[in-house]
């Protein structure tokens, strides 16, 4: 095919960077997305990667759009393979319109060039001439930035600040690499090999660029979190790292525990001592925390649990994504006690829901889950500035008096929660069944009253259940239900279909479920549910709530998120 490209998709471009771990793909992603945003471009980025430090094949998608963009597409407009074998890794996504910017050495012997448009860019040679092939990733940054018409000074200044902590020689070499790549990109434009026309918006420069982990971390800080404990586990570790990074600024104690059991118990102990605490983990780690969850239930201790889902069972696919831990969060723990489960869909939900989780946990003295997944945690896009300036942190503890009773049989099931040392009263808690003072009891009548007391609180929680969000036509015939991280891809797919009889119903609180679900489903002639798991776990929960078994299920559980194209196709099959 000809190397001359007069234009590529004007309003939305998908760039894929692919190569083995250790080649600096994350650096390219970080630099490129920030520089593009600062230059007025809307961006979205997400990644898929293997569970290894070196080798393998990883890829990052960066969408650059004239409009706000926030979901994954299968399409590849520009592919930058950084090593041999990268093309095969994404081969199924390559089309004849895909432009491959690469050196010949990275092309596969058995992958015909008639499947894509090849433009030779000798990233490695340029980097080697500068001093080391390691700089090839920054050469790629310079090349791509020039193709989008970004001023060279913006590129150089950001590269300089990114490597500011390095030695003067490394800073100098990276700047040279960016400049050399930039010049190569200009030569491609001048020779009419590639032209890109994406509209910029000056307002985008003032947007913030957040990923899901940062949003959850910021929400925790806004909720008054001053203690976080965890045993590192992908993909939840990103939240721990974020809070550790900012711990000194916000007075947060960050404890990397020796194991998940210790992390959970530390979190419970922190709440008992008066802290507002969170534990962050993933499915396999939470499995070890379940006894601690029951302890929180018995103690009526607030606790916030960030559970970042990944495919199981066991170690499963530790760096991939899935929505298969909903039932784990819902049914975990021996005995019967209440809980609340929140599942952010948009990046801003990560902030607002995590903030709300701390208030709900403290107010009702129950465990509150923030249920995310690898796709949500690792994806980011530009959004207008967020704020919680008018949101004060509520304090639900009391100063105890001498006659303080921790587990008083109140009318609504909520007993005033005291803190040891704050007041004159004695704060007694126990993992055994206990009386109102907190002392162990085997009185069976008290046992019944205590169980009823703990469950009664969930009646009050009903007043604060977050209603699902409807997107699309009010006169819908088909209702598409989704939850958590599928929000953006489902809404973009429905927008692509452009049918006036479709609506999306997204749940950001998946337990308890808001009663408005009955009105929505009664109005629909056809219901479709979209989930990143194999058994439609939320569909089963909706059946328990409504008695309705949703017939049309779109499920994916290979470890990858949905793409806009595949979801559009599968919806079209159902709609006929």
CATH numbers and ranges of domains, the chain: 12-206 (3.40.920.10), 210-383 (3.40.50.970), 397-464 (no CATH), 469-575 (3.40.50.920)
Q: Is the pLDDT of residue 3 over 60?
A: no
Q: pLDDT digit string (tens) for 59-79? A: 999 999 999 999 999 999 999
Q: Is the pLDDT of residue 200 over 70?
A: yes
> What per-residue confidence (pLDDT) applies to 52?
79
Find, among 61, 23, 38, 48, the residue nearest to 159 by Cα. 38
- Round to the nearest angstrom and report the end-to-end CA distance of the chain: 36
Query: Residue-wise over 445-479: b if at least 16 C-beta within 10 A, else e?
Result: ebeeebeebbebbbeebeeeebebeebbeeebebb
SS3 396: coil
Taking the C-alpha atoms of residue 421 and residue 184, their distance in angstroms, rounded to an integer, is 68
Q: What residue spans of 246-346 are helical by DSSP H?
A: 247-250, 260-272, 283-299, 326-331
Q: Which two tokens stand for residue 323?
A: 């929505």
Give the confidence band of 576 by pLDDT, cuts at 50, 70, 90: confident
Please tell me what DSSP assigns to residue 301: -
- Go through the chain and tell me how many residues it has: 576
> What per-residue confidence (pLDDT) applies to 2?
43
Q: In this structure, are residues 45 and 62 in contact, taking their beta carbons and an 8 Å threshold?
A: yes
> How far lies 108's CA from each of 16, 58, 149, in Å?
17, 17, 31
Q: In this structure, are residues 171 and 121 in contact, taking their beta carbons and an 8 Å threshold?
A: no
Give the confidence band of 195 by pLDDT, cuts at 50, 70, 90: confident
Give the confidence band of 57 by pLDDT, cuts at 50, 70, 90: confident
> What per-residue confidence (pLDDT) applies to 376?
98
> What per-residue confidence (pLDDT) applies to 5?
52
- The four Cα atoms 184, 186, 189, 195 give a dihedral, to 10 degrees, of 100
Q: Is the pLDDT of residue 6 over 70?
A: no
Average pLDDT over every residue of 244-253: 97
Q: Which two tokens stand for residue 508?
A: 């950001």
- The four Cα atoms 434, 439, 440, 443 give a dihedral, to 10 degrees, of -60
Average pLDDT over every residue of 280-289: 98
Find, among 209, 227, 210, 212, the residue nearest to 308 by Cα. 212
Q: Is the pLDDT of residue 25 over 60?
A: yes
Q: pLDDT digit string (tens) for 492-519? A: 999 999 999 999 999 999 999 999 999 9
Q: In this structure, are residues 53 and 234 in contact, taking their beta carbons and an 8 Å threshold?
A: no
Give the confidence band of 9 by pLDDT, cuts at 50, 70, 90: low
Q: Is the pLDDT of residue 111 over 80?
A: no
The least confident of 201-205, 246-250, 314-318 is 201-205
Q: pLDDT digit string (tens) for 436-459? A: 999 999 999 999 999 999 999 999
> What per-residue confidence (pLDDT) applies to 389?
67
Please tell me what DSSP assigns to residue 466: P
Who wins on pLDDT, 115 or 282? 282
Q: pLDDT digit string (tens) for 541-551? A: 999 999 999 99
Give the confidence band of 1 by pLDDT, cuts at 50, 70, 90: very low
> What per-residue confidence (pLDDT) applies to 283?
97
Q: Is the pLDDT of residue 157 over 80?
A: yes
Place of tokens 């009263």: 425
């Amino acid at each position: 095919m000809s190397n001359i490209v007069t234009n590529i998709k004007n309003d939305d471009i998908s760039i894929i960077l692919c190569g083995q771990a250790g080649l600096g793909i994350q650096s390219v992603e970080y630099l490129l997305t920030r520089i593009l945003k600062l230059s007025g471009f809307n961006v979205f980025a997400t990644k898929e990667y293997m569970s290894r430090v070196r080798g393998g094949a990883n890829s990052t998608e960066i969408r650059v759009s004239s409009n706000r963009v926030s979901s994954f597409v299968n399409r590849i407009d520009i592919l930058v393979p950084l090593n041999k074998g990268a093309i095969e890794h994404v081969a199924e996504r390559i089309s004849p319109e895909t432009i491959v910017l690469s050196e010949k050495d990275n092309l596969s012997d058995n992958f015909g060039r008639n499947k894509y448009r090849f433009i030779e860019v000798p990233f490695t040679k340029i980097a080697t001439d500068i001093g080391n092939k390691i700089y090839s990733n920054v050469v790629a940054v310079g090349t791509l930035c020039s193709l989008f018409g970004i001023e060279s000074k913006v590129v150089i200044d950001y590269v300089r600040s990114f490597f500011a902590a390095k030695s003067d020689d490394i800073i100098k070499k990276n700047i040279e690499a960016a400049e050399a790549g930039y010049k190569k990109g200009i030569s491609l434009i001048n020779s009419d090999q590639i032209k890109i026309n994406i509209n910029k918006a000056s307002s985008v420069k003032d947007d913030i660029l957040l990923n899901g982990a940062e949003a959850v971390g910021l929400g925790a800080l806004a909720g008054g979190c001053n203690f976080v404990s965890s045993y590192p586990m992908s993909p939840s570790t990103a939240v721990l790292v974020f809070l550790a990074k900012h711990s000194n600024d916000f007075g947060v104690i960050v404890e990397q525990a020796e194991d998940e059991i210790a992390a959970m118990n530390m979190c419970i102990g922190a709440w008992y001592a008066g802290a507002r605490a969170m534990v962050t983990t993933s499915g396999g780690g939470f499995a070890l925390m379940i006894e601690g969850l029951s302890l929180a239930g018995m103690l009526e201790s607030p606790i916030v649990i960030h559970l970042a889902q990944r495919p199981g069972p066991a170690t499963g696919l530790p760096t991939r994504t899935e929505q298969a831990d909903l039932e784990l969060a819902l049914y975990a723990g021996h005995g019967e006690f209440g809980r609340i489960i929140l599942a952010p869909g948009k990046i801003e939900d990560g902030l607002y829901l995590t903030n709300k989780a701390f208030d709900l946990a403290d107010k009702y003295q129950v465990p509150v889950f923030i249920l995310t997944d690898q796709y949500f945690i690792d994806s980011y896009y530009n959004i207008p500035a967020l704020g919680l300036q008018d949101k004060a942190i509520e304090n639900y503890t009391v100063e105890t008096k001498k006659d303080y009773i921790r587990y008083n049989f109140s009318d609504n099931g909520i007993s005033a929660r005291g803190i040891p040392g704050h007041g004159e009263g004695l704060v007694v808690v126990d993992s055994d069944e206990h009386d109102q003072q907190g002392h162990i009891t085997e009185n069976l009548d008290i046992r019944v009253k205590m169980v009823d007391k703990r469950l009664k609180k969930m009646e009050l929680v009903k007043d604060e259940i977050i209603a699902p969000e409807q997107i699309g036509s009010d006169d819908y015939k088909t209702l598409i239900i989704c939850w958590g991280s599928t929000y953006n891809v489902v809404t973009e797919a429905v927008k692509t279909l452009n049918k006036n009889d479709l609506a999306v119903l997204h749940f950001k609180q998946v337990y308890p479920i808001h009663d408005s679900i009955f009105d929505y489903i009664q109005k629909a002639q056809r219901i479709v549910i979209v989930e990143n798991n194999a058994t439609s776990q939320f569909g089963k929960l909706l059946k328990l709530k409504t008695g309705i078994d949703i017939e049309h299920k779109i499920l994916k559980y290979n470890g990858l998120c949905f793409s806009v194209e595949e979801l559009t196709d599968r919806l079209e099959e159902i709609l006929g």
